[in-house]
Amino acid sequence: MKIENIELRRVHIPLVRPFRTSFGTSIAREITIVRVKTADAEGWAECAADTRPLYSSEFLDGSDLVIRDHLIPRLQALGDRLTAERVAGALEPVKGHTMSKAVLETAILDAQLKETGVSFGGYLGAVHDTVPAGVSVGIMDSIDELLEAVAGYLEEGYLRIKLKIEPGWDLEPVRAVRERFGDELLLQVDANTAYTLADARHLARLDPFDLLLMEQPLTEDDLLGHAHLARRITTPICLDESIESARDAATAITLGACSIINVKPSRVGGYLEARRIHDVAAAHGVPVWCGGMLETGIGRAANVALAGLPNFVLPGDTSASNRYYAEDLTAPFVLENGHLRVPTGPGIGVEVLPDVLAGVTASVTEIRF
């Protein structure tokens, strides 16, 4: 595939409401959108890195620099031999920077599939036309505010509620939601590494609430700690930040550090590695679900396609567009009986809205091949 140029476009998009986790509070998303242009197609992807290195060591300004000065030159060296399947191997000498690698691989894959008329879902192996949608509920200022938010999401049709937790905001919000909405509600929690193994006795107090899972309670590099915690609580442990590759997934499963995996393509280097994690987990009988990084419709389209694979058996954080944005960069994703439809058009299957994109663009950098 011959690439003519790659464009890095920085955009600023306000969130419809603040989103608070144990890392901090976001009121807007600042994103680098990558466009890959060939003679016959345009490929699009968005970088999931935040402006600050809090969720991971990557951050947006650093990602732009790595993409421009270290990753793209390695892709240029491939010339006409460049394909999405060769991106990971070409970029492997650059250590880490999985989100930066992921956005390039995804944009190139989008362009490649558009040239051949194949959808993301068809390429990855999706077996479902729609996928069940859950919603992630941030940390609130009060229990009343939380209950009102959860009620609203359930009224919209979301099939699963995920509560962000941290020390001091865990037992009471979970108890309140369970008591208000009953035992049939699919409910899980996400700690984003906010606890230590010393908190095991406290975390065990969440067991009576019959949660689907407890996501990433300990730091990402503490697989043994998660394995110890899994033996001390009955709530299933799900790993997120700890899993950056299929090898990580196999190691965590073998150690007993998790019984569920949250697959975030941007965190693991792209959708090809995400598919390998899906396959490894399936081979071990471990279910997976698709996590979210407050994506616009560009990233959401590809995530929904991935969530159509057979071992994605739990509702993901593939929420509708209006969960985060009053106006999306693509036609909005809309809930249909608690599900999102898997796009069937070539590539990611959605078109970027040029007027909306132009209205939120802060800067554009073009790199010619």
Catalytic positions, written as ranges: 164, 264
CA atoms within 13 A on the CB side of 51: 11
Question: For residue 14, which of 2, 30, 1, 3 has the smallest C-alpha distance?
Answer: 30
Strand order in the sheet with 361-368: 42-46, 24-38, 3-21, 361-368
Question: For residue 263, which of 285, 240, 283 has the smallest C-alpha distance?
Answer: 240
Pairwise CA distance, residues 290 & 312, whole Å:
7
Question: For residue 233, which of 250, 218, 248 has the smallest C-alpha distance?
Answer: 218
Instruction: State both tokens at 329.
Output: 């960069």
The separation between CA 293 and the C-alpha centre of its own chain, rounded to angstroms, equals 5
User: Is the Cα dihedral 216, 217, 222, 227 positive or negative?
Assistant: negative
Residues 105, 272: contact at Cβ < 8 Å? Answer: yes
